[in-house]
């Protein structure tokens, strides 16, 4: 954590009241000018900030502004780290928050801004109950193509080891700067895992119980961009591939901003928190089995009020985009894609080898996160899905 300069008392208004999407980091200076931002609170993943070229690209537009930098957070951010950033932000009294990095940096910035604006303590604010006050403008600049955090109204953190999600429209960044140039330096593993995350977001959004006429086109276009380009991500990826992945990831983020994620994400979280499996890799292991599971939906176990026919139609649409005829073929195709990009497909590959391990994972699943899934999950169904993946 480095405090570069002192700051002055902020005015908490902005001329930009809805999310604006920019395609170049070169636009940030003009956006800051429009906001009247003489002081900036910069939340950054240091490696991404320097390695992506963002630091160099932003140098000129930040040179004559008061900047406070916060970098002290983990990949899986803890409440204590958010509170440390919150205290620094309050001291800085900055007029704008600038977030640069992957999903973690963006979520940290969103949470700091959200908590700072509320009249209640952060722990109470984890569950908004109305009267939520907007914070300062947030400019989100992703350096990965995958999390979609620049487009969403929720953010995640860990409280006493438990993953929590905070959701409110005021959490969504004011401006998203989606510049594929900044993703060129992503390590191969980061590019793969973030791309897999975006792919799973798009798939899950399509079958979510909240899928609608706005989310479905976003998710469909996201898949059309991600599917042909994901095998080519990483070091040496072409400009065209990086641009397609960035656009696809952003569209997937816009889709889940409406629908939220479903079972594949819900079942993946214990793999990350308990075993340290990278998020995108964890979700990718589960997306195929959940596809098959959802294809078996019936009247009795359907979560979607529109009925099982709607769910099955969505599943058909998804597998057709894979070039497959049914869910089983689709799941096999997905497994092949995951293998091709070098990510694990079996729980045994990440250390889950026994019934005891399965029960421990199942016990950590947040069942509320399964409510968006179109087919209901019983505890027994959760255990079986895990067990079949060993």
Helices (H), 146-187: none
Q: Specify the DSSP class assigned to residue 6.
A: -
**Looking at residue 249, what is its pLDDT?**
98
For the ranges 122-136, 228-242, 274-288, 358-372, which has the lowest average pLDDT? 122-136
**Looking at residue 303, what is its pLDDT?**
98
Averaged pLDDT for residues 158-182: 92
Residue 297 in this model has a pLDDT that exceeds 50: yes
Phi, psi (degrees; rounded to nearest 5) at 289: -60, -35
List, for residues 341-379, the tens digit of each pLDDT value: 999 999 999 999 999 999 999 999 988 889 999 999 999
**Looking at residue 130, what is its pLDDT?**
64
- Residues 20 and 31: their CA atoms lie apart, in Å, by 10
Contacts of 36 (CB under 8 A, 6+ apart): 11, 15, 95
- Residues 17 and 278: their CA atoms lie apart, in Å, by 35
**pTM for this structure?**
0.92
pLDDT confidence band for 16 (50 / 70 / 90): very low
pLDDT confidence band for 127 (50 / 70 / 90): confident
Which listed CATH number (1.10.600.10, 3.40.50.2300, 1.20.1090.10, 2.30.40.10) goes with 188-388?
A: 1.20.1090.10
Averaged pLDDT for residues 47-62: 97
**Looking at residue 131, what is its pLDDT?**
64
Which secondary structure element, helix H or strand E, spans residue 312, and what is its range? helix 308-321
**Looking at residue 369, what is its pLDDT?**
86
For the ranges 43-47, 278-282, 347-351, 366-370, which has the lowest average pLDDT? 366-370
pLDDT confidence band for 120 (50 / 70 / 90): confident
Task: Give the class (CATH, top level) of 2-182.
Answer: alpha beta
pLDDT confidence band for 196 (50 / 70 / 90): very high
**Looking at residue 129, what is its pLDDT?**
67
- Residues 282 and 163: their CA atoms lie apart, in Å, by 15
Q: Specify the DSSP class assigned to residue 214.
A: T
The torsion angle over the Cα atoms of residues 229, 222, 259 and 123, rounded to 10 degrees, is: 60
Partners of 70 in beta bridges: 43
Task: Sketch the domain layout of the chain as residue ranges.
Answer: 2-182, 188-388
Residue 13 in this model has a pLDDT that exceeds 60: no
Contacts of 23 (CB under 8 A, 6+ apart): 177, 178, 179
Helices (H), 69-211: 79-92, 103-117, 122-125, 188-207
pLDDT confidence band for 53 (50 / 70 / 90): very high
């Amino acid at each position: 954590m480095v405090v570069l300069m002192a700051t002055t008392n902020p005015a908490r208004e902005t001329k930009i009241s809805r999310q604006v999407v920019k395609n170049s980091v070169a636009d940030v200076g003009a956006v800051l000018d429009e906001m009247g931002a003489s002081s900036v609170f910069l939340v950054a993943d240091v490696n991404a900030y320097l390695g992506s070229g963002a630091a160099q690209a932003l140098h000129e537009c930040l040179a004559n502004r008061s900047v406070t930098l916060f970098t002290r957070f983990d990949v899986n951010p803890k409440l204590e780290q958010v509170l440390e950033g919150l205290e620094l932000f309050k001291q800085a009294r900055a007029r704008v928050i600038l977030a640069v990095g992957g999903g973690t940096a963006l979520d940290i910035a969103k949470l700091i801004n959200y908590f700072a604006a509320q009249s209640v303590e952060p722990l109470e604010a984890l569950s908004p109950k109305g009267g939520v006050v907007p914070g300062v403008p947030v400019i989100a600049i992703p350096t990965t193509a995958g999390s979609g955090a620049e487009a969403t109204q929720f953010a995640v953190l860990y409280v006493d080891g438990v993953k929590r999600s905070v959701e409110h429209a005021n959490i969504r960044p004011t401006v998203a700067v989606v510049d594929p140039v900044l993703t060129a330096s992503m390590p191969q593993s980061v590019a793969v895992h973030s791309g897999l995350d975006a792919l799973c977001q798009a798939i899950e959004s399509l079958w979510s119980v909240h899928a609608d006429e706005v989310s479905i086109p976003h998710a469909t276009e996201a898949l059309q961009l991600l599917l042909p380009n994901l095998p080519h991500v990483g070091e040496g990826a072409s400009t065209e591939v990086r641009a397609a992945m960035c656009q696809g990831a952003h569209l997937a983020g816009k889709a889940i901003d409406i629908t939220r994620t479903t079972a594949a994400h819900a079942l993946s979280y214990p793999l990350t928190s308990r075993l340290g499996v990278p998020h995108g890799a964890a979700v990718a292991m589960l997306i195929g089995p959940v596809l098959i599971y959802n294809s078996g939906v019936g009247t009795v176990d359907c979560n979607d009020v529109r009925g099982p026919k709607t769910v099955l139609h969505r599943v058909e649409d998804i597998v057709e985009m894979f070039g497959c005829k049914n869910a089983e073929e689709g799941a096999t195709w997905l497994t092949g894609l995951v293998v091709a990009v070098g990510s694990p497909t079996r729980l045994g590959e990440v250390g889950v080898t026994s019934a005891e391990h399965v029960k421990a994972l199942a016990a950590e699943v947040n069942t509320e996160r399964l409510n968006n899934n179109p087919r209901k999950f019983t505890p027994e169904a959760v255990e079986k899905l895990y067990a079949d993946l060993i």
